[in-house]
Copies of this chain bind each other. A is one copy, B any other.
Amino acid sequence: MPEESGRRERKKQQTRQTLIATAARLFEEHGYEATGVAAIAEAADVSKRTFFLHFPTKEDVLLSDGRARLDLALRVIEDRAPGAPLREVLAASLAAMIDDTAARDLPSGMAALRARLIAESPAVQARVLHTAFAGQARIADALVDAYPDVLDRTSAAAVLGALVGAVSAAAIASLSAGDGQAETADAMRRAAAIALGALDTLDPPA
């Protein structure tokens, strides 16, 4: 599969990457609120309109890789072994996301920048929460499809809410405490383990 790799697509991706890198740099230098979209576009040498062609809001330039991580989690659920227990699949799905975060997001420094900007700007905070919540709902739907006998929609939402809430709260707490990458990844894994305990209520382990 050629995967859309013509010159046009490459240039589009390059514009996108330039915008992300430029925005990150400017946020780093002057803070989030003080950096306007017009300034980002100017520094990336594109029009303001082009920025919004790539990102629906100013905040989204910080969340570009979230969708990939969501697809990862959904694929783990879809490709589960037949008869695999809910708890196991959920743990694997979550682990895939955390591992990806540890492998890509944390080392790039993007996660740390994002954590700082979350603390600084309510707008960023709100958008991150909203994005996480939307992703969480999609995973919950996938789980209901996969385990219609074990989970109804509301329970699935509750379980996913607990997992995502625990992991993201732990990640933010750890990053704002100044922890390093390894400690943060570890905090996320511990939070996942704590929250997975909640599943025993629905689906007791042997």
Contact = CB atoms under 8 A, between A and B. Distances in A.
A61 interface: no
B198 A155 contact: no
B154 A161 contact: no
B187 A194 contact: no
Interface string A148-164: 00000111111111111
Interface in A162-206: 162-170, 172-174, 177, 187, 190-191, 193-202
A133 B137 CA distance: 17
Contacts of A137: 169, 173
Interface residues of A, number: 45
Nearest to A169: B161
Interface stretch (A2-10, A71-79, A124-132): A124-132
A62 to B, nearest CB: 14
Contact of A155 (B161, B194, B197): B194
Given A161-B165, A162-B191, 20 more contacts: A122-B130, A125-B133, A126-B126, A129-B129, A140-B169, A153-B173, A154-B170, A154-B173, A154-B187, A157-B169, A157-B172, A158-B169, A158-B191, A161-B167, A162-B195, A165-B165, A194-B198, A194-B201, A196-B198, A197-B201
Contact of A162 (B125, B129, B163, B202): B163
A93 interface: no
State the oligomeric state as a number of copies.
Answer: 2
Contacts of A190: 154-155, 158
A33 to B, nearest CB: 15
A159 B194 contact: yes
18 contacts: A125-B130, A125-B133, A129-B133, A154-B174, A154-B190, A155-B190, A157-B169, A157-B191, A158-B166, A160-B169, A161-B191, A162-B162, A162-B166, A166-B198, A194-B202, A196-B198, A197-B197, A197-B201
